[in-house]
Amino acid sequence: MRLVILAAGHGLRLREETGGRAKILLDVEGKTILDRTVELAAYLGLEPLVVTRREFADEIGRFADVRVEDESQDILDTLYFSRSLLTETFCWMGGDMVFSDPGPLRELFARHREQGFAGSFFYCRTDRFKGKVRLSPSLKFQVTREGSHELSSPMFMVQEPELLADMAAPPRGDFIQRAIDRGDPILTREYAAPVFEIDTPADLAVARRFFSDKRAEKGAQG
Name the least confident of 147-156, 187-196, 202-211: 147-156
CA dist list (Å): 139 to 83, 130, 179, 183: 24, 16, 10, 12
Q: Give me the pLDDT at residue 44, please.
A: 94
- Residue 131: pLDDT band by 50, 70, 90 thresholds? very low
Whether the predicted pLDDT of 178 surpasses 90:
no
What mean pLDDT comes out for the span 76-104?
Answer: 89
**Pairwise CA distance, residues 121 & 181, whole Å:** 17
**Pairwise CA distance, residues 94 & 7, whole Å:** 7
**Pairwise CA distance, residues 57 & 161, whole Å:** 25
Name the least confident of 68-82, 128-142, 190-204: 128-142
- Domains, the chain, ordered by start: 2-123+156-221 (3.90.550.10)
Measured in whole angstroms, how far is the alpha carbon of residue 84 from the centre of its chain? 20
CA dist list (Å): 74 to 29, 49, 94, 181: 28, 17, 11, 24
Contact by Cβ (8 Å): 139, 176: yes
φ, ψ at 79 (rounded to 5°): -65, -45
Helix 103-115 to helix 33-44 angle (10° resolution) is: 40
Q: Give me the pLDDT at residue 71, please.
A: 65
pLDDT in tens, 23-42: 999 999 999 999 999 999 99
Amino acid at residue number 24: I
What mean pLDDT comes out for the span 94-115?
Answer: 91
pLDDT in tens, 83-96: 888 999 999 999 99
Contact by Cβ (8 Å): 83, 67: no
Contact by Cβ (8 Å): 204, 213: no
Q: Give me the pLDDT at residue 171, please.
A: 78
Q: Give me the pLDDT at residue 15, please.
A: 87
Q: Give me the pLDDT at residue 139, please.
A: 53
- Residue 129: pLDDT band by 50, 70, 90 thresholds? very low
φ, ψ at 213 (rounded to 5°): -65, -40
Which H or E element spans position 126?
none
Name the least confident of 40-44, 104-108, 183-187: 183-187
Q: Give me the pLDDT at residue 211, please.
A: 93
pLDDT in tens, 55-64: 888 999 988 8
Mean pLDDT of the chain: 83
Name the least confident of 56-60, 118-122, 217-221: 217-221
